[in-house]
Amino acid sequence: MWVIRYTGQDQPGSTSATIRKRNLSMRSDLIQTHIDRNRETECLSEAYTGHRDRIMQLIASTAKDLTDGENQKCSSIVLLGGGNCLDVDLPAVAELFEVVHLVDLDETAVRSVVNAYPERANQFRVHAPWDIAEPLLSLTSRDFRPEEDNRDHCIKVLQALSSENGIADIPEADVVVSLCVLSQLIDSLAVLIREDHPAFVNALKALRMGHLRRMLSLSRPGGVAIFVSDIVSSDTAEQLKTATTEQIPELVKTFVGEKNFFSGTNPSVILSELNVLSRLETGPDTVHTIDPWRWDMGERAYAVYAFRIQKKLPQSAEFEADDTGD
């Protein structure tokens, strides 16, 4: 197995122009899968109510904390995987933030939602179509060939996936939210290479680390990244359909213990990776675990969990905050 050592240092970063060029080469089949999912779920707004309420509680409480509870707006928020925006109450988000950045592959879906609120048009910034795991959606199985003559190229691909680069033209925000995006990214990876492929495990780890790093890179110092992920569905955990809110956390612990969860979404592993990132000056300062909840999506139910990750302040700022003049 190839080992990609994470040092906290990126390979030379791409310019915005290069990233845009790469986005033009994104695979239409992978994009279409995402678009098809949006079309299938666009009529499920009512079913999303409980899930949406939990995410909005997280966003609202975070905005309140960052403004010291005062009656004022935060500067900006980034929503990764906005799509149909069923995971959030977009007008309510616009009440809390001066600028709302929506990042997604499906430009039609995002603009359709934004256009429904013309009075808020000056607050919304649409970044689509955008590969938030760039260069994932421009890759093919050939990029992961295990043969010796492809080794160096494959390592460079994994380094690019784990890099904090990839989402350009978005200034650092007060809050960054990943809306159940990780499992979708892993689904795309599984189209490129099977789970028994020699490079799959390293590719999955690189993809997951890159996603966490990109969330942090988009967050201002002292800002908050809210990582939300589905972990298992009623397809393999039928108890989710009838479980009460109080039962969900214990059920999720059971499913994790039984290894009944989507590849790459084990929360304990993600916590471990956040701990690695906390060693960096721009890494997490604190990580709070949010109890899992049920997300109803038509005939299928999902268990969802979240982490609230506060980014470190620069050391000089911390010293200034602690300086009382005594």
pLDDT in tens, 249-301: 999 999 999 999 999 999 999 999 999 999 999 999 999 999 999 999 878 99
Full residue range of the structural domain in which residue 185 is found: 16-322
For 149, 161, 181, 264, the CA distances from 198, given in Å and listed in that order, are: 15, 17, 24, 16
Q: How far apart are CA 3 and CA 205, in angstroms?
A: 11
Number of separate domains in the chain? 1
Give a yes or no: residue 136 inside a domain.
yes
Domain presence at residue 4: no
**Is 36 a member of any domain?**
yes
In a domain, 1, yes or no: no
Q: Please report, for the domain that includes residue 275, its CATH number.
A: 3.40.50.150
Cα–Cα distance, 99 to 118 (Å, whole number): 14
Cβ atoms of 16 and 171 closer than 8 Å: no
pTM metric for this prediction: 0.89
Is residue 222, in this structure, part of any structural domain at all? yes
Kindly tell me the sign of the dihedral angle through the C-alpha atoms of 73, 76, 81, 84. positive
| 227 lies in some domain | yes
Q: Which of 20, 287, 24 is nearest to 166 (CA)?
A: 20
Confidence of residue 105 (pLDDT cuts 50, 70, 90): very high
- Residue 22 predicted with pLDDT over 60: no
- Check residue 113 and give its pLDDT: 95
> How confident is residue 69, by pLDDT bands cut at 50, 70 and 90?
low
